[in-house]
Chains A and B, each alone.
Chain A
Amino acid sequence: DADVTQTPRNRITKTGKRIMLECSQTKGHDRMYWYRQDPGLGLQLIYYSFDVKDINKGEISDGYSVSRQAQAKFSLSLESAIPNQTALYFCATSERGGTDTQYFGPGTRLTVL
């Protein structure tokens, strides 16, 4: 969805490096999410934010941190990357109320060597 953008789209890094993945949205949604996708494991929630001052840990937050710089921006950081963090990372947004449909970005493929 072009309204949710992620940078970079691909990243190769080395063990121990600090990495930041960025997400921006123009949908005006107040809720943002970070997911990790691994083959056979589906989508696992890392962190979510219901508004700028409300950030919550998801199922697999260990080794990750987030920053909600503004309503439209939500960044995911790996303080010291390790090989088992190699995965596809998705940012998503949703709007308060209604069905809470989530709109996903195109993903960032991260490889940690």
Chain B
Amino acid sequence: QQQVKQSPQSLIVQKGGISIINCAYENTAFDYFPWYQQFPGKGPALLIAIRPDVSEKKEGRFTISFNKSAKQFSLHIMDSQPGDSATYFCAARRRTGGSNYKLTFGKGTLLTVNP
């Protein structure tokens, strides 16, 4: 059972455009929602994250929008650049006991930004 659904699977955007990637979840036990960015030949790396008590978090050109009631969150990349071309994973964290947590990842979105 996939607990975090991510869409689209791939996305092509022109330079300067806005890239939007969406994720949805069902488990209300999730308490933290990070996004990871993966360049070809590299491991994923944390890009930006949000807690469910806020509706938006912005870091430079990257913004997470969070809708707790709809159990959805999305990544917006403003003024998309060719250097943003990468695979993006949303994730959700839940406590498994004590101070231990586990991340569940979406299936990823391959973003291509054309010059």
**Cross-chain contact of B43 among A45, A48, A97, A106 (Cβ < 8 A):** A106
Chain B binding site: helix, strand, loop or mixed by DSSP?
A: strand
Whether a CB of chain B sits under 8 angstroms from the CB of A104 is yes
B residues contacting the other copy or chain, number (CB 8 A) = 22
Q: Contacts A92-B43, A102-B46, A104-B44 given; indicate if A41 touches B101 (C-beta within 8 A).
A: no
Question: In the complex, A96 Cα to B98 Cα: how many Å?
Answer: 11
Whether a CB of chain A sits under 8 angstroms from the CB of B89 is yes
Q: Contacts A42-B106, A43-B89, A99-B49 given; indicate if A90 touches B101 (C-beta within 8 A).
A: no
Whether a CB of chain A sits under 8 angstroms from the CB of B107 is yes
Most buried by A among B9, B34, B89, B103: B103
Question: In the complex, A103 Cα to B41 Cα: how many Å?
Answer: 15
Q: Contacts A1-B43, A1-B45 given; indicate if A99 touches B34 (C-beta within 8 A).
A: yes
A43 lies within 8 A of B44 (CB): yes
**Nearest chain A CB to B102's CB is how many angstroms away?**
7
A41 lies within 8 A of B107 (CB): yes
**Nearest chain B CB to A9's CB is how many angstroms away?**
10
A43 lies within 8 A of B105 (CB): yes
Question: In the complex, A101 Cα to B43 Cα: how many Å?
Answer: 14
Question: In the complex, A48 Cα to B101 Cα: how many Å?
Answer: 11
Question: In the complex, A104 Cα to B46 Cα: how many Å?
Answer: 9
Question: In the complex, A103 Cα to B43 Cα: how many Å?
Answer: 8
Q: Contacts A41-B107, A43-B105 given; indicate if A50 touches B43 (C-beta within 8 A).
A: no
Q: Contacts A40-B9, A42-B105, A42-B107 given; indicate if A50 touches B49 (C-beta within 8 A).
A: no
Residues of B within 8 A of A (CB): 6, 9, 32, 34, 41-46, 49, 89, 93, 99-103, 105-108
Residues of A within 8 A of B (CB): 1, 4, 31, 40-43, 45, 48, 50, 90, 92, 96-97, 99-107
**9 closest pairs, A vs B, by CB?**
A104-B43, A42-B107, A43-B105, A100-B101, A42-B108, A42-B105, A101-B46, A104-B44, A50-B100
Q: List 8 A-B contacts (CB under 8 A).
A: A42-B106, A45-B103, A99-B34, A100-B101, A101-B34, A101-B46, A101-B49, A107-B43
